[in-house]
Structure 1
Amino acid sequence: MRLTRFSQALLVSVLAISSAGSVAETISGNTAESLLPDSNLIRQTLTQLPAMRTSRFQQDIADAQDQKLQSGGHEWQLRLSQTERKETGNIRTRDQEISLERPVRWFGKTEHDMRLGEKGREVAKIAYADSWHESARTLLNDWFDSLRTQAAVTQYEQQLQLSRQLRDIAAKRVKAGEAARLDLQLAETEVSKLEAQLQTAEMQHARQLELLQYHYPALKLPVVRELPIPSAASAEHRIEAIMEDNHELELATLEADYAKLQLSRTAKDEMPDPVIGVRAARERNGQDTLVGFSIAIPLGGQSRRADTGQAAGKAGMAQARLDVVRQKVWREALKVTQQRNQMYTIWKALDQAKRQSEQQSQLMMKAYQLGEISLSDSLQIRKTALETAFSAQQAQLDALFAEARFELDAHRLWPFDAHH
């Protein structure tokens, strides 16, 4: 009769958990962002990363290049000459000449260079924004990896506590003569196994914390005792939310435009720039004074046409890369969107199974305490409960990560524009 009453209690408890699961989820109002550090601290951390410093230097280079293009690459050239003249009758005279020359841009090259310099600055700015986003992605991955190892430690601590309780129950039953000594040995073995698993989890967590502190010394991992409830995707969580504002795609577009401008500018150089100058000369020991104006026009050749062909190839490559990046961004947006939906669905199923498994484990422990089942059956239920709880916990973190990753890619989490 005891076994029958236990089976009925088990069925009632499982049904109760099934009906109460949704109520427990609506109680919590936390989001994935509550697991993350303060946004201002994140921005300060990202700014100090090596990748961001490199991108900042690229902006400095683009500014300098813009200044060069505005002023032009041509320089003034000062030419001095002196000639000694020997005439009939052994008369010697000296001639001196001074000239100032400089090539000048024509056929709209100056305006074109100004546009090219401004476009280069735009490319550098968006490259910085894209580097910001990629660094934020890496930080988010590293942060959740640390949360996963921390959650594993917490999970094993809880399971070890329950296993020790079961060992104490077995010890009392053995002492009372209600169970064989083998039960106590099995319980102690289970405790030792969980202690070893806990030590392994603690080592992995410590190693992950070291990596986190090395890369992001200003960040401190919070102690999470209870994970927030993941939120389901809504109509706003679609591919377009990521595609509408994507730094990588914008960067590829600007680079293609920049390559087209370079092609147009190089084609203009097939018409060489003239060299203009002014000159003054004194001849015959100053008896004659000359002032004049000079102009020289280089004769373009095959080399300039080859430069245009090379620029055309680069422009074609930039356009082809834009098409590749557009497809890549779309695939990643689809993946992020689908993962958010899939991870939430998987977590819901595993969370329900975890609740049922935990209830069964508790009832089995009571049943063993009452002598209704063997310890080996109870340990098997405990093992199943542990595996289910661990899988549900990791699925919950995966769902929270997918939620945060979508918000990051949609530029609603740690947005670049807010930093500037």
Structure 2
Amino acid sequence: MKSVLLCMALSAAVPALAAGVAGAAYPPLLPPPQLVTRLLERQPQVTAAQAGIEVEQANSRRLAAGPYEWSVKASAQRRNEASGPRYHENEVALERPLRWMGKADKDAELGRQGVSISEARLADAWHEAARTLLRRWFEWVREAQAARRLQQHAALLGQQADIVRRRVAAGDAPRMEMMLADTERNRAEAAFLQAAQRRDLLAASLAVSYPGLAPALPDGLPEPALPAGDAALWRRTILEDNHEIELADAEAALGRASAERAALERTPDPTLGLRYAQERDRQERLFSVTVSIPIPGQARREQVVASQGRANVALENARAVRLKVEADALAAALRADGTQTLWRQLADIGRQSGSNAALVARAYELGESPLSDTLLARRQALDALSAAEQAQIDALEAQARLLLDMHAIWSLHAD
């Protein structure tokens, strides 16, 4: 049943994307899309939203059936005349209020609106769960890459310490340099252990929240690749199919329909009754039709005012959501473009710093440079390479977030 509901919501909530976006390449750093789909299906907010569809479907059927039911009344009495006999009498009546003035059609519309809202909530819950998974995934990627870089840095400093040890043994360098090299290596190894601990803690947290997800880094970070188009196109694509806007608009539509339904209540519903009575020991039989109509008062009028106020609140909330989503869409598009540019600049600096560190280390090995210059160059190279790699990860995350918001990856309607 849940899979059927998921498919129904899927087909109703999400239209097809533009061909260029739909054909965007899947980012290689992310976990497999089939695995992500299985993980998202089991997230509590998604399963709760799925159950909400069943609730609203039942509520829609309730509204279509209406709030009124048949009522049966029965009574028995004994008539005592002052100077005559006694008679047994009884009466039975069947009554039911009737919706009129288009109230039944409006109730059915409210039911359909409720189902639409629940479907939009499912799509929004799915998208938010996907955003959370993406954010937590890249948190782990950052720590994993930082640990890898620090491990490589510690290994280079270990090689540097070996070179220093050989020079000290040969009498080409003072013993103090060996102590300095060992201290630098030990500091790098401690930094690696700290980063590895953070990485492992994040991996354990992912394993608890997403059973079956085994994070792993490739040998080298992939290069970010933005989808075709520019920031303006990406922003339009996000806005054309956005679950937050769909949900807010659906709630505003429900508010309007609820206000219209409340306005109809200014005219009360009549109650139609059928009455059958037997009097004077069945000597008299009575059959009658009764109609009763409540007299409307101030409570009904105030209910209309309150419903109109709630409709206005929902409308303004929808406007606020649209403005927020427009700002977020613009920020996502600009962030994807800007992080790409920043990564390229920092990557050039990182390569230059790495080359410079290698040259200075070679100069020390040949006795042409002091150890302090070598260690400083190593630290500068570490900082530059780490900054470049973190910028690359930022660009990869911005690219993935852009594709996610455009429903090109991890979408509810993905096959």
Deviation of residue 43 (structure 1)? 1.3
Residue 38 (1) aligns with residue 32 (2): yes
Of 180, 185, 188, 1:191 maps to 185
**In the alignment, what sits opposite 2:237?**
241
Residue 295 (str. 1) matches residue 295 (str. 2): no
Query: How much has 1:211 moved relative to structure 2?
Result: 1.4
Supply the AA of the counterpart residue of 1:391. A
2:413 aligned residue: 417
1:160 aligns with 2:154: yes
Distance 2:27 2:129 in 1: 17
- Equivalences, count: 390
Corresponding residue for residue 314 of structure 1: 310
Does 2:96 correspond to 1:102?
A: yes
Residue matched to 2:388: 392
TM-score normalised by L of structure 1: 0.91
Matched, 1:341 2:337: yes
Contact 2:26 2:409 in 1 (8 A): no
- Letter aligned with residue 282 of structure 2: G
**Paired residues of 2:353 and 2:381 also in contact (CA < 8 A):** yes
Q: Which residue of 2 aligns with 1:267?
A: 263
Code of the residue aligned with 1:362 in structure 2: it is: A
Assess if the C-alpha contact under 8 Å between 2:29 and 2:217 holds in 1. no
Distance 1:32 1:173, change over 3 A: farther
- 2:60 counterpart letter in structure 1: D
Q: Which runs of 5+ in 2 are unaligned?
A: 1-23
- Quote the residue 1:26 is aligned against: none
Match of 1:135 in 2: 129
Note if 1:179 corresponds to 2:173: yes
Aligned partner of 2:16 in structure 1 is none
Partner of 2:7: none
Q: CA deviation at 1:291?
A: 1.5
Alpha-carbon distance in structure 2 between the residues aligned to 1:201 and 1:149: 6
1:144 is matched with 138
- Bigger Cα displacement from structure 2, 155-164 vs 221-230: 221-230
Q: Is the 8 A contact 1:153 1:202 kept in 2?
A: yes
Q: How does 1:201-212 map to 2 (within 5 A)?
A: 201-212=195-206
**AA aligned opposite 2:121:** A
Q: Are the equivalent residues in 2 in contact too, given 1:153–1:198 (CA < 8 A)? A: yes
Moved more, 226-235 or 321-330: 226-235
Distance 2:98 2:61 in 1: 17
Is 2:118 the partner of 1:124?
A: yes
Distance 2:397 2:94 in 1: 67
Deviation at 1:90, TM superposition (A): 4.5
Match status 1:364 vs 2:360: yes
Q: 1:221 and 2:215 equivalent?
A: yes
Task: Give the superposition deviation at 1:31.
Answer: 6.6
Q: 1:264 to 1:405 in 2, by over 3 A?
A: same
SS of aligned partner of 1:372 = coil
Residue by residue over 1:340-362, the C-alpha shift from the partner in whole angstroms, topping out at 9 and shown as x without a partner, is 01111111011001111111111
TM-score (norm 2): 0.92
Deviations 1:143-196 (A, max 9, x none): 110111111111111111111111100001111111111111111011000011
CA displacement at 1:397 relative to structure 2 = 0.4
Contact 1:171 1:184 in 2 (8 A): yes
Match in the other structure for 2:15: none
Q: Is the 8 A contact 1:142 1:212 kept in 2?
A: yes
Does residue 308 of structure 2 align to residue 325 of structure 1?
no
Q: Find the residue that maps to 1:343 and give its secondary structure.
A: helix
1:31–1:228 CA contact under 8 A, matched in 2 = no
- Paired amino acid for 1:262: S
* 3-state SS of paired residue (1:33): coil
Q: CA deviation at 1:223?
A: 3.3
Deviation at 1:119, TM superposition (A): 1.1
Indicate the RMSD between aligned Cα atoms, in angstroms.
1.4
In structure 1, runs of 5+ residues without a counterpart are 1-29
Q: What code does the residue aligned with 2:119 have?
A: K
Is the counterpart of residue 77 in structure 1 residue 71 in structure 2?
A: yes
Letter in 2 for 1:308: V
**Deviation of residue 76 (structure 1)?**
0.8
Q: Distance in 1 between matches of 2:285 and 2:328?
A: 76
* Paired AA for residue 212 in structure 1: L
Matched to 1:40, the amino acid is Q
Identity %: 36
Distance 1:336 1:267 in 2: 43
Q: CA deviation at 1:225?
A: 2.0
| Secondary structure of the corresponding residue to residue 37 of structure 1 | coil
The structure 1 residue matched to 2:164, chosen from 170, 179, 191, is 170
SS in 2 for 1:105: coil
* Paired amino acid for 1:278: L
Measure, in 2, the Cα distance between the counterparts of 1:231 and 1:171: 45
Q: Distance in 2 between matches of 1:174 and 1:81?
A: 115
* Residue 52 of structure 1, CA deviation: 1.2
Corresponding residue SS for 1:350: helix
In 1, are the aligned partners of 2:72 and 2:94 still within 8 Å (CA)? yes
User: Aligned equivalents of 1:403 and 1:146: distance in 2?
Assistant: 17
Give per-residue Cα distances to partners, 1:214-255, cap 9 Å, x unaligned. Answer: 211121112332110012464255311111110001111111
- 2:28 counterpart SS class: helix
